[in-house]
Amino acid sequence: MSVHKSVQHDSALKQACGAARYLDDIPEPKALLHMYIAMSTHAHADIKSMDLSAVENARGVQCVLCAKDIPGHNDISPFGGDDPLFAENLVEYVGQSLFAVAATTRELAIRAAMLAKIEYTPLPAVTTIEQARNAKLTIEDAKTITKGDATTAIQSANYRTQGSFVMGGQDHFYLEGMIAMALPLEDGDVHVYSSTQNPTEIQHLVAHVLGKTQKDVTVETRRMGGGFGGKETQPAIMAAACAIAATKTGKAVKCRLDRDDDMKMTGKRHDFIYGYDCGFDDTGRISGLDIILESRCGRSKDLSGPINDRAMFHADNSYDLPAAKITSHRYKTHTASNTAFRGFGGPQGMIGIERIIEDIAHQLDKDPLNIRLGNAYGDDKDNITPYGQIVKDAVVKEILQELAESSDYRARRSAIREYNKTSKFLKKGISITPVKFGISFTKTFLNQAGALVHVYADGSVHLNHGGTEMGQGLFIKVAQVVAEEFKIPLTQIKISATRTDKVPNTSATAASSGSDLNGMAALNAARKIKLRLIDHAAQKFKCAENDINFKDGMISGNGQSISFENLARSAYESRIQLSATGFYKTPKIRYNPVTLMGSPFYYFAYGASVSEVIIDTLTGENKTVRVDILHDCGKSLNPAIDKGQIEGGFIQGMGWLTTEELVYDDAGHLRTHAPSTYKIPTIGDRPKTMNIEIWDKGRNREETIYRSKAVGEPPFMLANSVYCALADAVSASSGYKFRANLNAPCTPEEILRAVTSLTNV
């Protein structure tokens, strides 16, 4: 079997040897120009004048581009029509692209850009959610999902909890920054190399700015040095600017953003203010919940609509809500347009209810796990989400119970409470939280994929599909699927770069859907060829097609056998087509994007985690010391790769909730735009003990690729237990008298603030 096996990443050795080529490692074309994109220094201003004459005359400069130089449309938005490639008269965030310079070296391009004379007329800048709320500035109308009558349910409940808290945004901090390179072709066409999760989108947008059609543009992506959602829409700036400069100058043009510029220019995870009002009974069972989600979308729509929709779809997390009202406000601010980031709004929507559960447990003086189990979807519930989808595989209770057992959660919780009695300044906390994450793009038409498989006459196989590789192991998983279908070793398959001229009209590699969609499409293509090979072998062996058997690189039937290589040769010589395209579309999903009611998801992925933390109540310093995870990957295609996603997702989520703080000043300048000031987890932040298990009972009830489940995003939200454990420790500093009022990220400063606020009650 090639599937369900821990095969190492296809590029692992090349990466370890520095031989895996990222975009900037491709040998450079002759006379390559290097581009720098100049950025706005104002959050909101009219551009009074922009004098670029000194830039044009600077040493080494061969091309300067601004809005008027765009041959096609000045828009690189995914669908909103509101993202100019270059600002025209107005700037709406610090970091917005103004113009581009292409010069003989990168340094000369940067130095030339510094010579621009730009005059602004500053306008009032709205940079925070509160300011946008007051100014009533939105990117689109608020949306609401209702189930039952939440208001009455809350008012008639015996118990009630209310509150609000803030969760910060997050920079993707992919290690490879944004980069693109465009090669001019004949007929004014371009070949664009882009570090993107979405080659088709880049192709479409490059054609759009060039005033051409998609056939005139080819986009190629072999691999990214990390994406995490940040390379879904954002790479368009670099790709489009390079493409214009390349067609203008007739030379290849490369644009590689410096880390600081990357962080200033591109969008991030949305920060949210989460407000709640919840009614419940003396067992902790929720009767009604009213949630208000307010998000900072930045200057344009980008993907904020679907991101906020997903936040709403995940406000229930794993819990059955008899009555719920979920309202979502999408605010416009004069900051970079926030964008996709692993979880796509899910984490922000989901973490709130975990806090609410902790509140309920605190009020009733119960173990939060009991409250979780009491509210979780399962046999005893109607299992209808607030948006009307029936949860058919409610396994979350089972996972929670198994994990509580294996992690010794209850005994450890008691021990921690004992420890906190005697430890005056250091306090420990613990929490167990579940994850239920909906799988499918909420824009239903995106749930499609294509693949292209060639079997050459020597039996070697070329594999191509619409998914992109950003480290998540998609390419090896899809190769495993094809190897399994042909029963050949993986070494016989060449994994190739994603290209829009091989597989057209693809969706972004996003929404955790990569393997589900592309694995199925590749299987479809491989199966077409396999059926032709079976037909050929049956004729050759003079037996029925049913009697043909593929095993270990051999094809046998009727007492005869032939190697895959020789069968391919024989089929070729018999003029049989050994190339096929494959296609897949996700079944069963349908919902109304206006009312948000229906079944947007094909299935759900589940998991749970226990985090134990310790805080210092004098300094707010904190550390996650032990984590236990049980995660449902269905029947994992590749347990090693999936485990990597689980651990990596958790640590990234932990970073979002602890050390990663985006700080803006009042004028809208991001003050944390490099790793010197923006702190993603380091090796020492990894909990000393991390027990990660893939749930051995996992099996997708839907017919996904080999019954596996998507695993890219769901583990990110396992880190919610870190936030709840920190809140538990903060509450311990008051002898559990008060619940913690904790915002995220829980930096030392935030922890100390929360501790101090309890002391001063």
Nearest approach in angstroms of CB 159 to other proteins is 34
Kindly provide the b/e burial profile for residues 3-30, where b requires at least 16 CB atoms within 10 angstroms of the residue's own CB.
beeebebbbeeeeeeeebeebeeeeeee
Q: What are 256's two structure tokens?
A: 């590689």
Nearest approach in angstroms of CB 629 to other proteins is 11
Nearest approach in angstroms of CB 617 to other proteins is 9
**Residues 42, 44, 191, 223: which binds other proteins (CB under 8 A)?**
223
The window from 240-248, 453-461, 585-593, 679-687 that contacts other proteins (CB under 8 A) reads 679-687
- C-beta closer to other proteins: residue 19 or 390: 19
Task: Using CB under 8 A, count the residues that bind other proteins.
Answer: 94
- C-beta closer to other proteins: residue 17 or 594: 17
Nearest approach in angstroms of CB 388 to other proteins is 36
- Is-contact 374 400, C-beta < 8 A? no
Chain positions 117 to 176 lying near other proteins, rule: CB under 8 A, are: 172-176
**Residues 131, 151, 672, 757: which binds other proteins (CB under 8 A)?**
672
Chain positions 419 to 458 lying near other proteins, rule: CB under 8 A, are: 425-426, 428
Chain positions 727 to 756 lying near other proteins, rule: CB under 8 A, are: 747-749, 752-753, 756
- C-beta closer to other proteins: residue 384 or 625: 625
Amino acid found at 472: Q
Instruction: Concatenate the DSSP letters of all residues of 312-374 into one string.
Output: HHTTTTTB--SSEEEEEEEEE-SS------TTTTHHHHHHHHHHHHHHHHHHHT--HHHHHHH
**Residues 250, 676, 697, 761: which binds other proteins (CB under 8 A)?**
676
Nearest approach in angstroms of CB 411 to other proteins is 15
The one-character DSSP state at 516 is I
Sorted by sequence, the CB contacts under 8 Å of residue 1 that are 6+ apart come out as 484
Whole-number Å distance between alpha carbons of 236 and 473: 24
Whole-number Å distance between alpha carbons of 12 and 98: 39
Whole-number Å distance between alpha carbons of 514 and 229: 12
- C-beta closer to other proteins: residue 14 or 588: 14
Nearest approach in angstroms of CB 17 to other proteins is 5
Nearest approach in angstroms of CB 16 to other proteins is 4
- C-beta closer to other proteins: residue 692 or 724: 692
Site string for other proteins, 636-665 (x = CB under 8 A): ----xx-xx--xxxxxx------x-x-x--
- C-beta closer to other proteins: residue 170 or 385: 170
- Is-contact 553 488, C-beta < 8 A? yes
The window from 223-231, 379-387, 394-402, 568-576 that contacts other proteins (CB under 8 A) reads 223-231
**Residues 4, 133, 259, 417: which binds other proteins (CB under 8 A)?**
259
Kindly provide the b/e burial profile for residues 387-408, where b requires at least 16 CB atoms within 10 angstroms of the residue's own CB.
bbbebebbbbbbbbbbbbeebe
Whole-number Å distance between alpha carbons of 259 and 184: 27
Chain positions 455 to 484 lying near other proteins, rule: CB under 8 A, are: 470-473
Chain positions 64 to 123 lying near other proteins, rule: CB under 8 A, are: 107-108, 110-111, 114
The window from 238-246, 455-463, 506-514, 687-695 that contacts other proteins (CB under 8 A) reads 687-695
- Is-contact 708 293, C-beta < 8 A? no
Nearest approach in angstroms of CB 623 to other proteins is 4
**Residues 130, 685, 693, 702: which binds other proteins (CB under 8 A)?**
685
**Residues 1, 411, 594, 683: which binds other proteins (CB under 8 A)?**
683
Site string for other proteins, 562-601 (x = CB under 8 A): ----------------------------------------
Nearest approach in angstroms of CB 671 to other proteins is 4
Q: What are 202's two structure tokens?
A: 């880049």
3-state secondary structure string across 123-153: CCCCCCHHHHHHHCCECCCCEEEEECCHHHH
- C-beta closer to other proteins: residue 238 or 293: 238
Whole-number Å distance between alpha carbons of 429 and 222: 44
The one-character DSSP state at 260 is H
Chain positions 6 to 65 lying near other proteins, rule: CB under 8 A, are: 8-9, 11-22, 24-25, 27, 59-60
The one-character DSSP state at 278 is E
- C-beta closer to other proteins: residue 108 or 452: 108
Nearest approach in angstroms of CB 477 to other proteins is 13
3-state secondary structure string across 606-655: EEEEEEEEEEECCCCCEEEEEEEEEECCECCCCHHHHHHHHHHHHHHHHH
Q: What are 21's two structure tokens?
A: 């080529």
**Residues 158, 684, 760, 761: which binds other proteins (CB under 8 A)?**
684
- C-beta closer to other proteins: residue 236 or 746: 746
- Is-contact 407 413, C-beta < 8 A? no
Contact status: 226 vs other proteins (CB under 8 A)? yes
Chain positions 610 to 629 lying near other proteins, rule: CB under 8 A, are: 612, 614-616, 618-623, 625-626
- Is-contact 195 224, C-beta < 8 A? yes
Nearest approach in angstroms of CB 479 to other proteins is 16
Kind plus residue range of the DSSP H or E element containing 735:
none
The window from 345-353, 394-402, 505-513, 688-696 that contacts other proteins (CB under 8 A) reads 688-696
> CA angle 618-620-622, nearest 5°?
120
- C-alpha to C-alpha distances, 543 to 27, 72, 549, 558, 572, nearest whole angstrom: 52, 60, 11, 6, 20
- C-beta closer to other proteins: residue 225 or 349: 225
Nearest approach in angstroms of CB 271 to other proteins is 15
- C-beta closer to other proteins: residue 31 or 114: 114
Residue pointed to by tokens 């979502």: 328
The window from 239-247, 303-311, 402-410, 672-680 that contacts other proteins (CB under 8 A) reads 672-680
- Angle formed by the axes of helices 639-657 and 720-732, nearest 10°: 40
The window from 435-443, 553-561, 670-678, 702-710 that contacts other proteins (CB under 8 A) reads 670-678
**Residues 363, 556, 677, 743: which binds other proteins (CB under 8 A)?**
677
Catalytic residue numbers, as ranges = 713
Kind plus residue range of the DSSP H or E element containing 727:
helix 720-732
Handedness of CA 651, 653, 654, 655 (dihedral sign): positive
- C-beta closer to other proteins: residue 574 or 619: 619
> Whose CA is closest to 270, among 216, 310, 224?
310
Amino acid found at 586: T
